[in-house]
């Protein structure tokens, strides 16, 4: 299947960026074709009515139109969606055709905090539902991610590590069922 991964913060040492690359590797190892959008690929101009989409916005739009599923790996800022990711989502929702209706989405987050970015994912769920995207009920969250990700972005805490294959496989089953 063709899958897009989008997320991380804009900083080079992003914990969410590390987790995203680990998840991309896991999906590739399962035989899927993945495209990852991070950092500069997500540094879009602020959305403004009438503005022409940048080449980065066009590339993301084209990838999502071809994709059968999307994995979002999002930092949590003030219990919500970081501005650069919300801006990207808003751009995409104004581009025709909108890639969002019926798109299966897996939500993931990593945070140094004890909740692993789970509160930010609630904000994502509201936004995705508004656009008609289909977020998997389960999610991957990595608490204490500053201490509990290995150098390749794999979670090291046993329970979190066990969640990753379970949730990824659940997501892939959803994608397969929706896109048959
Ligand atoms: C403006 C701002 C707000 C934040 N708010 C939260 C928050 O609500 N919950 C949380 O767990 N972490 C919060 N953090 C801490 C981030 O989770 C932490 O900086 C994390 O490393 C960001 O993700 P990254 O490593 O991918 O850049 C916030 C950080 C910033 C800069």
Residue 143: half-sphere exposure toward Cβ, Cα within 13 Å: 9
**pLDDT tens-digit profile of 99-142?**
999 999 999 999 999 999 999 999 999 999 999 999 999 999 99
Average pLDDT, integer, range 22-37: 98
Cβ contact 120:80 at 8 Å: yes
Ligand 1 atom index nearest CA of 114 = 11
- Whether the full predicted model's pTM is greater than 0.85, yes or no, is yes
User: Is pLDDT of 179 > 80?
Assistant: no
**How far is the C-alpha of 119 from the C-alpha of 121, rounded, in Å?**
5
Q: What SS3 class is residue 51?
A: coil
CA of 77 to the centre of ligand 1 (A): 5
Please report the pLDDT score of residue 143 as a whole number.
Answer: 98
Ligand 1 atom index nearest CA of 10 = 27
Please report the pLDDT score of residue 180 as a whole number.
Answer: 60
CB of 117 within 6 A of ligand 1: the answer is yes
CA of 14 to the centre of ligand 1 (A): 10
CB of 38 within 6 A of ligand 1: the answer is no
CATH fold for domain 2-178: Rossmann fold (3.40.50)
In terms of DSSP H, where are the helices of 12-117? 15-29, 55-66, 83-94
């Amino acid at each position: 299947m063709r899958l897009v991964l989008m997320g991380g913060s804009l900083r080079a040492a992003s914990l969410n960026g590390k987790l995203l690359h680990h998840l991309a590797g896991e999906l590739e190892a399962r035989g899927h074709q993945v495209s990852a959008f991070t950092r500069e690929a997500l540094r879009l101009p602020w959305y403004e009515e009438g503005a022409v989409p940048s080449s980065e916005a066009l590339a993301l739009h084209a990838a999502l139109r071809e994709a059968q599923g999307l994995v979002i790996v999002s930092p949590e800022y003030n219990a919500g969606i970081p501005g650069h990711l919300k801006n990207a989502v808003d751009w995409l929702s104004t581009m025709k055709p909108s890639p969002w209706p019926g798109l299966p989405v897996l939500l993931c987050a990593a945070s140094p905090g004890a909740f692993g970015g789970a509160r930010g994912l609630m904000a994502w769920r509201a936004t995705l539902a508004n656009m008609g995207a289909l977020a998997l009920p389960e999610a991957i969250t990595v608490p204490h991610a500053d201490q509990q990700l290995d150098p390749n972005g794999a979670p090291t805490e046993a329970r979190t590590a066990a969640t990753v294959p379970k949730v990824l496989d659940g997501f892939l089953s959803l994608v397969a069922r929706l896109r048959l």
